[in-house]
A = this chain, B = another copy of it.
Amino acid sequence: MSPKHLTKGSKLPPPVRGKIRLYSNRFCAYAQRVHLVLDAKKIPYDVVYINLSNIPDWFYEKSPLGKVPALEVESGDVIYESLIIADYLEDIWTTHPLYPRDALQKAKDRILIDQFNKIISAMFKLVLSTNRGYIDDYRSVIVEGMASFENELKKREGPFFSGHKPGMLDYMIWPWCERADLLKLFGSHFLLKTDRYKKLMEWRILMRDDPAVKKSYIDSATHIKYVQSYRAGVPDYDIVIHV
């Protein structure tokens, strides 16, 4: 398992017997979702990191659109889309279940995961945006969206959304919460006010200590450096190795 991101011209690493393989990228939040599920469930897996700005030709045979995350199972079949992979792993790996047992609660958690897409989309546009005019709109979506998650967490027993330990909902929203300090890039007044998100701030500290989270965790300073390289048109996926 090489931590370096593979580029065009690289060789496809041979399969590792007895392990499923995740095609990933260190800075792809969607790919991180799958790492979290694999690590939380303690599933042995092999990782191949893909350089998304210089995709190896062989990768299109695995993932036709060249997208990560892509999961290659032992039969050689490859599936993609982070939530579909997460649900697949939940289906086949029934030890360490991550969804609530109750079907109604599971549906409610999936609705929240779906609603979190608005925050993801606003964060993505914010990071890409060069037009100051829209920036405040994107920030509002994030501020209001996170407020509704704060309220949701207040209503629950906690300390995690899923109870005494993180579950699917916690892990599916975590990658973007890990990146919350990216808002600093737009000025310190952009940061979310901690007193408005008390429960979420406590949750974030606890999440950071979760063994599965620790495995793929990248600190804010590195996320910011990466996004700066991305915005400059030269994304440095190997920044974790370079620092």
Contacts and interface: CB of A to CB of B under 8 A. Distances in A.
A87 B114 CA distance: 14
A77 interface: yes
B92 A77 contact: no
Given A103-B91, A106-B88, A111 B81 contact: yes
Interface in A62-92: 73, 75, 77, 79-81, 84-85, 87-88, 91-92
**Copy total for this chain:** 2
A1 interface: no
A15 to B, nearest CB: 17
Nearest to A90: B103
A91 B103 CA distance: 6
A19 interface: no
Contact of A108 (B79, B92, B106, B114): B79
A199 interface: no
A232 interface: no
Interface in A156-171: none
Contacts of A106: 88, 91
A111 B84 CA distance: 7
A118 B144 CA distance: 28
A104 B79 contact: yes
B81 A104 contact: no
8 contacts: A79-B104, A79-B111, A80-B111, A84-B107, A84-B111, A87-B107, A88-B107, A91-B103
